Each structure stands twice: as C-alpha cells, then as structure tokens.
Structure 1
Amino acid sequence: MKNLRNTYSVVLVGSLVISQLSGYTVSAASTASGVSVYPSPAISAVTASATSKLGSIKLGSNFQATLEDVNIWPQAGGNILTYTLNYTNGSNSNENLLHYFSRVITPTGSVIPGNPITGDVLKKKVISKGNLRVTYYVNIGTTNSLKGLKIPMYVWDAKVKGYLRQVGSFKLPTNYSPTVAIGKSLNTTMNDLPVTSYTESLQIYEYSGKVYAKVGVSLTNKGDKILEDPGYMVYLVSAGGTSFEMVLDSAQASYKIQPQEKKIVYYITEIPAYLNTNNMKLQFVQKDETLKLALPKSSYNLPAATNPDLIVEKDVVKKIMINNNMIETQLNNATVYEENKKGMWSFQLRLRNTGNKAVKMPSYDLAVKSPIGKAFPVNAKDLNGLVINPLEEKIIQFEVQVPLEVQQDTLQLQMVEAVSTVDSQSSTAENKAVIVKPVLPIAYYNIPYNLRTNTLTGYEYHATNSYGSFVYNLLSLQRFPWMEDDIVVAKLRIINTQSVTLSLPEMKGALKIDYDDLKASTEIFMDKQSVVLAPGKSVDVNVLAKIPYTTDFNHMQVSLYSVADEQTVPFLTLSTNSTMDAINTIDHGGIFRITDQGKNATIQEKMTVVHHGVSSNIVSTELLISNEERRQSKMVRLHAYYKTTNGEFYEATSNQPEAALSPGGKQLITFSSKLPKSVNTSDLSLYMGSGITGNKLSEPGQEATGFINIASLALNSYTPSTNLAQVTLYPYTLSIHSSNGRLQEGSDSIKIDVNYNLFRDGSYDTGTSNHKLMLKMTDPYGQSQEKALALGTDLTEGHNNTISLSFSNDRYKSLNGGTYRLTLYDEIQGERIELASQEYSLTYEELPEMEK
C-alpha cells in the first residue's frame, strides 16, 4: 500500500509538470481612447448554436462527468482553451477528484493535461448526492479551432500500465461553436451561480469624429444569491478576429442582480471608423492573476448593428435606461430673450423614474449645439448625481447664453456621457493600465424657439419647476421714493394649483432693469412665514430694490431663486415693461388698511395742519391706528412721504408709540416734515406704507430698509376755529367757556381768568409729543404777549377748571377799557398754526375816591 501511494504521487506530479506550458499576459496596443485592441489569429467560425452540455462520461458506478462550455481565446503566448466538467455524485459517499483526470488532444496529436483554474484549484471533493463544476485550462499553442479536439477522461487504476485508465473521451460535434447564436440564450454560470444570458443589441454611435460600439447583454440570475459583477474582461471581436476591450457604460459602474432578476448590462468601446461591423461577437474573458492568463468564458454572436436615433423632437419623451431603471426625460419651457447681443436661453429638463428602484443619475456633459457644430457648455451640476426615487419626478432648470451670430431657432441640447476613467481589466498588478471610458451621446433635444413674452398685470400664468406646479400673477409694479433714491417693487402672487402641498424654498430675489443687474441689493418680503402652501392657498411676494431717482428704464426682469450648496437654483423668472401701476389712492377721511400677517390694522387721518414759518413751513399729520388682530400685537412701523402737486417728495418724520396694542386698541401716530416756504401746501398727499427690515415687517423703534403696500392718503386742509368752544389737540379736547379780563385803575397788569374743560381721550395711546400749546393775548392796543401752556399740568384735566393769567405793560396804566383776544396755537419745531381765537371784553375797575 505504501508503494501504491508513492507511485500515485509520482504520476500526479508528472501530470502537473507536463501541464505547465509557457504562457504570458497579452500586451495591448491602444487606440486613442485607451481601449485595448488585440490583433490575433482568427478562430474558425461555425454557424451552429452553442450548448452548455456536450455529453457525459461515466467515471464510476454512480459518478459521472458532463462536459460544458468549451471555449478558446487567442493569445500571443499560446491560445488558451477552457472547458468545464460538471461532476455528479449519486453515491452515498464522497468522491475525491484526485482519482480522476482529463486531457486535451489537439488535431495534431498533442496530448496536454488539463489543470483547474486558480478559482477551482481547491475543489477536491464531490459530496454524496451532490455535484461540482470545475473549469480547466490548457495552452494549445497555435491551434485556433475547436474542430477535431478531443477531451479523454482517466481514472486512477494501479492495475494498468501508467496507472491511468481511460474511461471515455469527449469529442466535440462537428458543428459545435462556443459562440451563442443570435436569438439564442445560454445557460451558464457566473460566480458559481446559474445564469441565463443572451445579447440584446449592437449599436454604433458617431460622436466628435469617433465611432463607438455599444453592446447590450441580458443576464438573468437563476440562483438563490445575489449575482455581483464577476469582473470579467469583455471584448468586441470583429469577423476578422480583432478584439477591442469594452467597459461598462457610464450608467453602470458595476452591477448586482437579485435572485430571479433580469438585467441588461451595457458595454462600450471605441472602434475604427473603417471597421466592418458585420458578424461581430462578444467575448467574456476571466483574468487569472495567479496564472497570468486570460481565460475564455462565454461568447455571443451579435445582431446586425443599428444606429440609434438620438434626436428628440419638441414635447417628445426620451427614455433612458440607467441601472435597468427606465428614466423618462423631456425638454420643456424653453424661452429666449436678447441681451448684450446674446440669446439668453432658459429651459427645463423633466425627469421621471418609472422603475422600481431609486436611481442616481450618472455624470453628463451638457451643451447647446448649433447646426454648424458650435457648442456652448451648460452647467450640469444639478443633474449629475441627482437621486430620483421610484415614480418621483424632478425638474431641473438650465440657463445658457448663445451669441446672436449663431442661428437661434435650430439649437439642440446635447446630452453626452461625461469623460471618466477606469482600470483596464486586462492590466496586471505590475503593469497597470487605465482606460478612458468612451464618451457616448445620449440625446439631442431640439430646443423650441420661443421668445420670452412680457408678463402683464392682472393675468395668471402657469409654471412648473423642481418644487411643483403653480400659478403666478404680477399684482403690481410700482415705484416709490426712498430717501435720496427710489424703490422699485414688483409684487407677485403664487398660488398652489396642485392637489398636494407646495413646499417653497428659502427664496431670494433679483431685479434687473434694462442691463443693470440689481441682484446684490434686491430684497424680498413674503406675507407668510410658512414655506408650505396647502392646495389652493397663495403667498404674496414683494421683490424690491433701490435705484437712483433719476434712473429711467424700459424693461424689468424679476427672478426668484434659492441657494443650495453655493449654487443658484432658479424658481421663477419673468420679464415685464417699465409701466408703473398707479398708487392706490385713499380719499379724504378714508381708511387705509394694513393686511400683513399678524399686523392687521386700520388707519384714519385725524388732522393735518401746516405750521407757517418765516422761511419754511412744517406740515404735521395725526393718524389713528386701530389693531384689527384678535391678539395683542405691536403695530407695523409706518413710513411716509409728503407729495406735492408738482411731484416733489419730502420724507416725513414719524412719532409712533412702541407699546403693543390690545385687540381693538388704538394709537396716535404723528408724521411731520419741514417744507420750503415756496411749496404749495394746499393739496398735499401722504404716501404711506409698511416698513420692512430684511424679510420682516418693521416694528416701531426699528430702522426700516424699505416699505411696501403703499397708498396715497389725501389730506384734509385744516381751518382754524373762530371761537374757543372746542379746540382739539390729540389726545386732548379743550373747551373754553368764558374769560374774565380785569384791569384795575393805575395798574400795569391785566389779569385774566379762563374757565375751561379739558378732557383726554384714553381710548388710544400716544407717543412722546413734540407739540406745544401757545396762548397769545392781544390787548386793546393790538400788542401781543404769549404764554406756553402744558396740557395736563398748566391746564389740568377735568370739568369747570380755571386758570389765572397776568400780562403786564406800562401802557396799561393809562388804559381804561376795551377788548382783548385770546388765540391758541399749535407749535412744532418753532413753527406754529392757529387753532382758534376769540375776543372778550376787558373790565376796567376804578379805584375808590379816597384812594385817589
């Protein structure tokens, strides 16, 4: 028994030594793209279909081997033949493969032992009632045909000469071809999993002066585990035997196929323009790093080559397959306008995932291309890497500038796979090779030529973007004064017309007037803080910017956008002319309404007076604001300008209480401004609106950066009263019932007692007043003296009060009667207006005779 074991070892070692024929990795010539091309002897072609089972040989009573998948791959160091034996063990004990051997006999009579490939070298045992596939390789030298090849099988037998007993021989059918015929499928294995495969298509692309081939292969995983990319080298082989290394297309960096799932895998390569594409085949090759050999796997005859139609007409949906998920694409909403001798293009790309899995978009290069080949790059950052969930739809906005020298009505959006590199599967650890992936065009979308039309006020327009669908309209376009400048305000309304909520981004605004871009100084104000609109709900958006008041313009562009990852994401862009809408006018005594969220209020004029001075006049307007909210609220800070009949504006200084108002509560607000004496004050109006600070309404005490919702308030002219029966100085009302003036004989003083009522209206708050009440007494000589009276102190609140006043003058010593006049003035900043006046009799009191 010991001698048997030693003899067995010698024979086995001898078999291994004989099988170690020389071979080396094939060196590759490269095309311009880096795709490896292998000129090699043509393998004899036959027309019959390939089969996975080529007969069985009985090796024992319940043990047999079935020949499968015989393939040959030409290499400079000798053509490599591979074949797979599927061992089936029907016995009740394990079988050791060390007792069984196979050889290959070439047509010239050479006998070459077959050795397991590295991945199968450890497969030594076939378990009871099991089966095991082992793939063997043989270097058959210059033999380039399978015709006449035999594969005999041997069993270890110590009783026969040479210790090997032949139990049978596989002889390939005369019509056998390792290549799967067109329209036929192959049942094979990948990663030890059963797979059904066949070719789907061969497409030829021409782009940028180069020619590319794209092959689609259908793989169905028949196993019970996930099939991962086995990492095979893939070659496109011409009828003349020239091979071109292929790589996965850009939509598939690798692939995984679930059990029972079917996927179409695409490979691409660059080929010479002169290459005949008839009778081409696809060859899978497995690289064995240990053996330094490329081992042939399955191969397939390819159908006739076709040229894909990549042109996408207007409104047509283009379907793109990405990782076996269908993505619908469509070019929409293309518009153009002229600026600085360029066509300013804007368009959208709609993408919808109709598959069952989330898809991450591969990288593309986008460009707008003219018929004469000029291409203008389009930023594709929002598209590349975009993740689209099943049944989800995404809309991406693009903008590009095209010089007017280029014909604008025949442009196309060109979608091309982005340039990328991948390690060549044919490279070695010592000699790494990098392939530049072929760049294939995906689609050429014809861009409709639509001139951007002006948006008109009062009309509704439909829009769709990445956030959803909505209706918008331009409510107004207005221009107001602001300090030394003007403010231009475009007011938009956005209405959610979807049956689901519309989520708005954190929007910013940009105004452009003619060619002047005001993006840096544009502010935006929305009347709702919530960024989610329920179906049917709307939001008003004010987009405003400051311009020099002397600026005239003919055209305005309004843009809303958001910023994500430091990139601008357009939301809405519209164009309009420079026609300004009229300011809302409120008649005398009318009510100005504030409808801003949380700040609802009504405002009504109480009184406007003009304080006439020597070199200037001061106009002052008192307004009563009422809180219309159902909660305590601070009122919005009002900002205002006085406008004269000849169109001049004067900024008004406000005096507005800072305290919050209860529901229904009221406050007194005062505006005043100093006007030149030459200004006609007979027909002033007050331009008034809600102040804003950034994207919020200003509150009293805050510095406003602009104002919105402007109205022109027609002011009432004030006429002084002819008596002192009722004089209003908000919040006070003064009623002088009588005045008793007395002059004692020989005295230089007139003493006056004034009987009055003074009431304060406590229903509203007031700010700190800078008004003064001045009392002027005009004596019988026509000379006047004045006194300042402080309401609430000098004049106390209440009914039937009396204040005593005294006025002195040496001339009064000779006065013996007459009349005097009391006149009340409202004084502000040194200028005053007459409120009321009334004349009274002066009582002369003679002294008794004895005193004389």
Structure 2
Amino acid sequence: MKNKLKKVIVATTVLGLTQAAWINNVPMVQAATPNNTSQTQKAVKTLSNVPVVKLSSKSSVRITDVNVLTQDEGKLITYTLTYTNNEKKSLQLVDYWTKVRSKSGTSYTSKLLTQDAEKKSVAAGSTLSVTYVTTVGKNVQLSNLNFEIVKWDFSKPNYESILGKINIPDSYTVATPVNTVKKVRINDIPVKIKVQGLQTFSASDTSNYASVKINLHNVGYKGLENPNVKWVLRTKGGSSYPLNLNSNDTTYSVQPQESRSINYITTVPKKVKLDGAELIMVQENEAEKSVIPLATMQMPKSTSLQNTEIKVGKVHTITLEDNKGKMATSVGDVSVSQTHGNNYYTVNFKFKNTGSREVAVPKYDFSVQNKKGNDYPLSTKALDNLKLKPDEERLIRLTFSLPYDEADGTLKLVMNTPKAEGTEGTGSKEIKFSYPAGTYILPKATSMQQSIGTESTLQIQNGTLGVTWNSVQRLPWDNADVLSARVTLRNVSTNTLKLPQLKGMLSIDSADIADTQLLISQNSGLLGPGMSIDVHLLTSLPTNLDVAQLQVALSEVVGENTSELIRLTHIGQLPQIPQVELGSNYALNTPGKKSELQVKRTLIYPGTSSDIVYTELQVKNIEDRQIDLAKLTGYYESKNGEYYKTTVKQIDYPAGPGDSALVTMWSKIPRKTVVSDMKLLIGETISGDTGKEGTTTGAGYVDAASFELKPDQESTLNTIKNLEIYPFTLQTRDFKASLSGGSTVNLSWNYDAVRNNDMNMPESEHKLIVQLIEPTGKVFDKEIVLDKDLKEGNNKFLNWTVEDVVFEDRRSGAYTIAIYDEFQGQRIKLATQAMGFVPAVGNLPGAE
C-alpha cells in the first residue's frame, strides 16, 4: 500500500503560495459562469446525462461519480452508484451488486469500499450512494467499460440477472466542470471543494511552477482535522504531477461551516501544456491497502504570471499565507564599495507589519539579478526567528559582491519564498520550491570610495546615525605594525538613540581580517541628539605588507548572528599622520578624556655605544571634571625611517580640570643614528595594562601625531651658583670642602631650592650627581635623590664626607666641583667650577 502511495504522492511539506504577494494580489482566472458559457461548453455531456438503470417501476440506480488514477501497473478506477428508492419499503442492497466488464468481455474484479460496507439498505423515499474500486489495464479506456447492475435471480443458471449496463461514451466528461462545486466526503465529513484557479510562472529555463488554489468548505457538523487527502494534476495527455501543500498548512483544519482556501504547487516541464488538465483528489485507504481517487475536477485555463517589479522608492505589500497578516516591504539606500575586481554592495531593506496581529517573517531567500539576467544568491541570518508586532518596523541589511563586468546597469533584488523540502519516507527525490515574493529595482548606489572625512548616513532601528571615517593610521608596534581606523558615530536624529551591539572588520585588498579589535570611546550605549562617539578598529600587520585598498565595516550583533551595517573604502596611499610643530599643542579628543599635548624639551644623555634620547611632555586635562589621563605610547622616528619604542612614565592618579601632568618618554638609540632631526610619534594606548611604577603596556595605540623635536644644546655652566634640574631651580649660597689634616674631607652645600609645582609629576627617575675631582685626577661622586635628599626651601644644607689616603697630611690645595643630571646611568654635565680646600672656613663660589 505504501509503495503505491509513493508512486502517486511525493512530498507533502512544500512551499505555500499564500506567502507570496502575487497569489493574493493577482486574481485567479475563473471559469465562465452559466450565463456566459460558450455553446461548445454547453454541449459537453457529463455523468448526469448517462441513463439510469431501473430496479423497479419506482426505484433506480445511476452512476454519479467516476475517478481514474493511472499507475504503473494499471488504472485504478473508483465509481459511485447512487440508488434512488421511491418505494414504500426499504430497498435491500444485499440483492444487488455490480460488475465491470470490457466490451470485448474481459471481466474485472470490483470491490465495495470498506467505508460503505455497512450500508445494507436504502430507506423508503431516499437515496444512498456507495463506491466501488476496480483496477483495469493501463491502456483500457473508460468508454470501453460497462458497469453492470446485477440482481440475484435463482431462476437463472448462474443465479444472476443483469438489470442493465452503464457505459460512459468517450465524448462524456466524468470530471466536475470548471467553476462548479464538488461535494465529497473526507474523513467521513461532507466537504464542498472548488478549484479557484491555475497559474504558472517560470521556475527555470526548462520548467514552470504550476500553482493551484483550492477552496474547501466544511458543510458537516464536525471539524475536519488534518485531512490526509492528496492532489494530483493530470494533463490531457495523461501525465500526472503530484501537488505539494504549503509547509505551513500541513496540519491545517477546517471548522464546521468554515471555508478555507489552500494553495498547492508543483513543477511541470515547459513543453507540457496544461490546457484541459484535471485535478484528482486521492486518499490513502488503509483498509484497501491502496490509494483511492475521490474526486476529479476540470482545471480552468491557466494564466501565466509575470513577476511584478517594484519600482525605486515604492512599497510592496505582501499578504502572508491564508491571510494571516500583511507586511509592507521596501528598499532604502544602497551603497557600493570597490574591491579588487568586485563591487561590494549594501542594501537597506525594511519590513513593516501593517496587520493587526503579530506575524512571523518568513525566512526569505534573497538574490540579485543584473541586466544580463544572471542571478547571484546572497545570504542573511537577519530573518532568523524574526517576529513583528503590529506597526513594528525592522530594518535589515543585505550585502553582496559582483564582479565589475557583472555590475553594470540596473540591478534587481529578488526576494524568494523559503524553500521547502520533501518529507522523509515519501520515496521521492528531495523537492525544493521557491518563487519570487517580490522583485525590487535597486536605486543607484552611493559610492563609498575615498570616504575618509565624508559623513554617510546609516539607518538603524530607532533613528539615523551619521558615520564619518575620520582617520586611518599605520604605526610601528614591536615587531609589526598596528593599523587603526577611527570612525565617528553621530546622532543626527531628534531623539535619543540606543546604539546596537557593534562588531568591526578591517579588510585589506579584499581580505577580511578576523582578529580586528573594536573599541568604543564610552561605555554608555545611548546617544542624545547631536552627540557622537568614536569607534576604533585595530589590527596588526607585517611590516613589509603593502596596502593598496583598505575597507572598514561595522556590523550589528544580534545573538549569535551579525548583520553588516556599513562598509567604507579607501584606495591608494594612507593619509599622512598629523605633524605637530615644536611648541604647538595636539588635542586628544577621546570623549571623557580630552586633553592637550605639548613637547616641553628633549635631552640627549650620551653613552659609550648608545645615547639616551629623553623627552618631557605636558599633558593638560581640558575636560570640566577630574579624569584619568590617556595612557600614551611613543616611538622615536629617525629621518631614514628607523623607529625606536620609548619607555613611558606618567602619573597613575586623576588630574583635575585644567591641571597638567608631566609625561616622560625615553629610548636608547645607537650613537651612529642622527638624533638631531628625529620626530616623536605619540598616540593613545589601547587595551593596555598599567604595570609597576606607572609604566603602560598595551595592544596598540591610536590617534597618533608626529611631534617635531629639538634636542637642547645648552653648554655646561662654569659656575654652580645657579642650576636648573626640573622641577627644581637651585641657587648656591656656599659650597666648601674642609680638609681635616687626615684622610677625610668634609663637604657642605648650602643652597636655596624652589620647586616648580605647575604640573603633576610621576616619581622622578633623575638624580643629581655632585662630583669632587682632586688635583691628582681622583673622582669622588655624591648621588643626590630629588625630593628626598634635595628638598625645597631656603638655606638648606647637604653634608657628606669623602675619605681617601690621597688627602692625608694635605693642608691646602685646589679641587673641581662638577654637577651632573644623571638618568638611567647616563649623565649630562650641568656645571663645573674650580675651588680651593680650606682647613676650617669655606669659601663662597667665585664671581662669574
């Protein structure tokens, strides 16, 4: 039984046409009504014209329904006999039966359907129908068969008396005429069925979709739940094409007195003509172990449906299956970026629920067609589990790429209904149906080429953002380069916007970089009207990789899915890093951390094989509140393109409004390198950690500028009377070295010290070295720690002793004092002065 079913019915779960706008908006072609039926149609004879067979003077039987289903092993025929009893007593059906015999005498077994087996009699004054099933040869024509009505007659040799023969001439039609209601019993429930229309449209170069719309009207008193009937489209030539039901309606029900229209679809080769086709309703009959045809209906003339194209700027309304809701669909802005050999498009597409109840948006498949008619599918997860409340809108973005030679001319976006697959266990090949729910002509795309510095608009769910790609920088970073792009998002709406969860992607020469970092300048996801935030996209590159084309893409993250919002493109050389002249300020405009940077001075501490280049910066808080200043990264850059990463030290506590802080940067640079024309790259460190002693390490830096440097070339002073070692200014009152007559020298430095407190400072790494050089060349150093040994105030003293045999028995003589600024073990001589030992009283440093 199941094998027979498989030969007739294939998949039962397929796409329903009610999801498509055309099936609801284009009226079905109806057959002519009795008032305008042609003369030819009036001449067609049906089963009602077949003569009855008399059972008695007042009772008769006639054939009222015949259905033929062609199978590989033969034709399965069901025929219904309707008994009319006008007698005053019941008519016993046990006295009558039927045989099927060909005109040549071949007899075929006929069997009463199990559902009618309990029908024993026809009450007086009533009618009763019973249905039989028989199987004949595949080539046997219906007109060659006689349906015999037999009565028991014990006076005959075989006890049979043939009361009459029913023959259906070839010119007769057994199918229910077009535009006529057929009453059948489905699951023993009376149902009126009517074919409402047949439409065809192109499925491929070789096949068409055939769509049949059928109305079911339950005229019984019980609900029709999950009817297991199937439908077959049979052409005039005898070919059968199983129809497949809308996947959403596989468990539909029809309540008593309810009328419901159901849509079915199949594929038919284009060369097959559907004029004169018939629709056969079949049902699996467990008792008969077979598939039984229950009704045959003539099909109206098919209409060919051309896909309606929605013009630019127009709204296309889609009625969902079985009128469960309506959605307005439209195409918004389209943007295009060029990649190597391809155009990369982003299409804004909007759904709006225009109905009065929540709807689930079908998982439409999208594709794009060019002027050649070539079709390019695109994918999106934006419709996964998407539901819309009444009047709710949802904007999705569709992205696709086309080769240059395929992107010329007008493009069309095709929204196809979801594909439905054949049900397992049907024994059929996998069936997939999909057809256009809408074809939208795309407007001319806005180019996103060379988009640095240009604001583009971006529609999000609750408003509009202005998107500006402000800068892109390629900077040295350890053994690689760091590539960063800064994008500003500005609320151009009049209401507060909630930003979507964002993901960023940098693409170099069409290759997306999966490890792109995205950093947002503030934690809040709300933007008031006119407010803006900065978004940085960051990745690392090999130092020898050339970049001809760079793209920046922002996507919205919803659950585990992402949907691209915008993609911007830059071709050619990257913009130059901002240059800052000596003495000028550079603004770091990170919201919440706005500050100004200025180079104060640069020093060179000479060494044996390398010099230390040291720079002091002033960083000023220009916010109106206390902030943690941005952590900085620096690289010295030589004229010939060599980079040296700096060690950075800065305060690890907040700076008040308008306060400034000192930041120091330094690096050891080989002596062969020319440092006089160096520049200093400075940027804000991101994703960094603050380590010991306030040093900062990070994953990169952004918003860098190149600062002009001019190393100080001040000569050594020939007196120690007035000294500068930041943040102190020193004035020497007296300096003396007193001989003791033995091996000890007592040194005393009497000074005034003024500390500059204009800037907050990290712990100083500088030391003051006071060096005593005696006449034989021996050198004695005294290390003085700033803010510890050297203290602010007037008339301060520093006392220490030097002991060496060179001083034994010495009563007088000269020595030299040299004072150094020492940093990381390397020194700059600040001043030197020759002086004389005294036995008891010191001497004031000489005049200049």
TM-score (structure 2 length as normaliser): 0.70
User: In 2, Cα distance between the equivalents of 1:188 and 1:357?
Assistant: 36
Shift of 1:422: 3.3
State whether residues 649 and 695 of structure 2, in contact with CA within 8 Å, keep that contact through their aligned partners in structure 1. no
Structure 1 residue 222 displacement after superposition: 8.3
Letter aligned with residue 648 of structure 2? S
- Partner in structure 2 of residue 474 of structure 1: 469
Check conservation: 1:212, 1:438, Cα contact below 8 A: no
Equivalent residue letter for 1:422: G
Mapped pair 1:395 → 2:399? no
Distance 2:416 2:512 in 1: 35
1:380 is aligned to 2:379 = yes
- Would you say 1:422 and 2:422 are equivalent positions? yes
Q: Which residue of 1 aligns with 2:535?
A: 541
Deviations 1:267-320 (A, max 9, x none): 122335444323434343333322345555566544331221126366365665
Equivalent position amino acid for 2:633 in 1: H
- 2:610 aligns with 616
Matched, 1:711 2:705: yes
Cα distance in 2, alignment partners of residues 747 and 689 from structure 1: 58
Kept in 1: contact 2:380–2:563 (CA 8 A): no
Distance verdict in 2 for CA 1:80–1:537, change over 3 Å: farther
**Further displaced range: 276-285 or 380-389:** 380-389
Task: Please give the root-mean-square deviation of Cα atoms over the aligned residues, in Å.
Answer: 5.9
- Matched residue, 1:18: none
Mapping 1:564-575, distance limit 5 Å: 569-575=563-569
* Correspondence list, 1:243-392, <5 A: 243-249=240-246, 253-256=250-253, 264-292=261-289, 294=291, 300-310=297-307, 312=309, 315=312, 322-324=320-322, 325-327=325-327, 341=341, 347=347, 350-355=350-355, 356-359=357-360, 361=362, 364=365, 366=367, 371=372, 378-380=377-379, 382=381, 387-390=386-389, 391-392=392-393
Q: CA deviation at 1:673?
A: 1.4
For the 8 Å contact 2:518–2:538, the answer to whether it is kept is yes
Q: Match for residue 642 of structure 1?
A: 636
Q: Does structure 1 conserve the Cα–Cα contact (< 8 Å) formed by 2:13 and 2:245?
A: no
1:175-214 equivalences in 2 (<5 Å):
182=178, 198-206=194-202, 207-214=204-211
Provide structure 1 residue ranges, at least 5 long, that are not aligned to the other structure. Answer: 1-23, 36-43, 53-66, 86-96, 109-113, 125-132, 152-174, 847-852
Q: How far off is 1:403 after superposition? A: 8.1
Q: Identity of paired residues, percent?
A: 24
Task: Give the 3 Å change call, closer, same or farther, for CA 659–831 of structure 1 in structure 2.
Answer: same
**Superposition deviation, residue 639 in structure 1:** 0.8
- Confirm or deny: 8 A CA contact 1:638 1:691 kept in the other structure: yes
Structure 2: distance between partners of 1:318 and 1:240: 39
Pick aligned residue for 2:458 from 446, 463, 488: 463
Deviation at 1:107, TM superposition (A): 13
Find the partner of 2:645 among 648, 651, 663.
651
Once the two structures are superposed, residues 683-740 of structure 1 have per-residue CA deviations (whole angstroms, 9 ceiling, x without a partner) of 554322221128x99995553110012234455754479565664545x525334114
1:804 corresponds in structure 2 to: 799
Q: Give the Å deviation of 1:653.
A: 0.8
Quote how far apart the aligned CAs of 1:660 are. Answer: 6.1
In structure 2, how many angstroms separate the alpha carbons of the residues matched to 1:33 and 1:271?
A: 17
Q: Is the 8 A contact 2:361 2:387 kept in 1?
A: yes
What amino acid is aligned across from residue 266 of structure 1 in structure 2?
N
Q: 1:30 to 1:209 in 2, by over 3 A?
A: farther
| Residue equivalent to 1:89 | none
In structure 2, the residue corresponding to 1:437 is in which secondary structure?
A: coil
1:14-38 CA-partner distances (Å, limit 9, x unpaired):
xxxxxxxxxx978947999999xxx
SS in 1 for 2:487: strand
| C-alpha deviation, 1:616, in angstroms | 3.5
Distance in 2 separating the partners of 1:408 and 1:327: 31
Distance 2:753 2:795 in 1: 9
Corresponding residue of 2:21:
none
Alignment CA distance shift 1:798-1:409 (3 Å): same
Q: Counterpart in 1 of 2:484?
A: 489
**Which whole-Å CA distance do the structure 2 matches of 1:261 and 1:493 have between them?**
58
State the partner residue of 1:216: 213
Which amino acid in the other structure matches residue 201 of structure 1? G
The match for 1:522 is 516
CA distance in 2 between partners of 1:524 and 1:755 (Å): 58
Deviates more, 1:820-829 or 1:250-259: 250-259
Contact 2:13 / 2:247 at 8 angstroms: preserved in 1?
A: no
Residues 448, 567 of structure 2: 8 Å contact kept = no
Alpha-carbon distance between aligned partners in 2 of 1:795 and 1:698, rounded to the nearest angstrom:
28
Q: What is the distance in 2 between the residues matched to 1:33 and 1:234?
A: 10
Is this contact kept in 1: 2:501–2:558, CA < 8 A? no
Structure 1 residue 661, shift from structure 2 partner: 6.3
Is residue 789 from structure 1 mapped to residue 784 from structure 2 by the alignment?
yes
One-letter amino acid matched to 1:234: W
Moved more, 242-251 or 136-145: 136-145
Q: Secondary structure at the match of 2:288?
A: coil
Structure 2 counterpart of 1:509? 505
Secondary structure of residue in 2 paired with 1:457? coil
* Deviations 1:311-331, CA, capped at 9 Å, x for gaps: 636636566554234455556
**2-structure distance, mates of 1:290, 1:836:** 118
541, 547, 550: which one pairs with 1:556?
550
Does the CA contact (< 8 Å) of 1:115 and 1:136 recur in 2?
Answer: no
> Partners of 1:845 and 1:252 in 2: how far apart?
115
Structure 1 pair 80/768, CA: closer, same or farther in 2 (3 Å)? same
Distance of 2:671 and 2:307 partners within structure 1: 76
Given that 2:586 and 2:597 are in contact with CA atoms closer than 8 Å, whether structure 1 keeps it comes out as yes
**Equivalent residue runs for 1:750-761 within 5 Å:** 752-758=747-753
1:79: which partner in 2?
A: 77
Structure 1 720/624 Cα, relative in aligned 2: closer, same or farther at 3 Å? farther
The reply to whether residue 827 of structure 1 matches residue 822 of structure 2 is yes
8 A contact 1:250–1:362 mirrored in 2: no
Which residue number corresponds to residue 162 of structure 1? Answer: none
- The alpha-carbon distance between structure 1 residues 472 and 26, as it changes in their structure 2 partners (threshold 3 A), is closer
Gap change, CA 1:810 and 1:241, over 3 Å in 2: closer
Residues 421 and 547 of structure 1: CA distance in aligned 2, closer, same or farther (over 3 Å)? closer
Distance (Å, rounded) in 2 between the aligned partners of 1:335 and 1:823:
70
CA contact (8 A) 2:600 2:616 kept: yes
Whichever residue aligns with residue 361 of structure 1, its letter is: P
The offset of 1:475, in angstroms, is: 1.0
Q: 1:628 to 1:365 in 2, by over 3 A?
A: closer
Q: Is the 8 A contact 2:635 2:644 kept in 1?
A: yes
**Count of residue pairs the alignment pairs up:** 751
Change in CA separation of 1:311 and 1:843 when aligned onto 2, cut-off 3 Å: same
| 1:671 and 2:665 are equivalent in the alignment | yes
The change in CA–CA distance for 1:383 and 1:550 in structure 2 (over 3 A counts) is closer
**Structure with larger RCO (C-alpha < 8 A, sep 6+):** 2
**Cα 1:825/1:629, change in 2 over 3 Å:** same
